[in-house]
Amino acid sequence: MRIALFVVIALFGGFTVWVVSQVGYLGFFRSLLSTAVGWQAFIDLCISLVLFIIWMSSDAKQAGRSPWIYLLITLFLGSLGPLLYLAQRTRREATNNH
């Protein structure tokens, strides 16, 4: 699973950088929110990210870690925050199991 997460992070992260380089950070939101379909996708993403943030905060605190860097990444880069958190979590679990 860890390798798959890193592949997704690399591909999606690269695509995100490319998109933002083409339209700019604010242009991304202007384009997204210019249609009802864009609003629906944005609201759906926000709901999903809020649910993940709630879980991530609880999980990090149980592990004795601070979730703040991942929360900030999620706020500014969306799904990359949860993906990075899951990647470090699987690495931590692999280290603890050996």
Q: What is the DSSP string of 45-83?
A: HHHHHHHHHHHHHHHHHHTT---HHHHHHHHHHTTHHHH
Q: What is the pLDDT of residues 29-74, one digit of tens each?
A: 999 999 999 999 999 999 999 999 999 999 999 999 999 999 999 9
Q: Is the pLDDT of residue 21 over 90?
A: yes
Residue 86 φ/ψ, nearest 5 degrees: -65, -35
Confidence of residue 98 (pLDDT cuts 50, 70, 90): low
- The predicted pLDDT at position 90 comes to 78
Give the type of residue at 84.
L
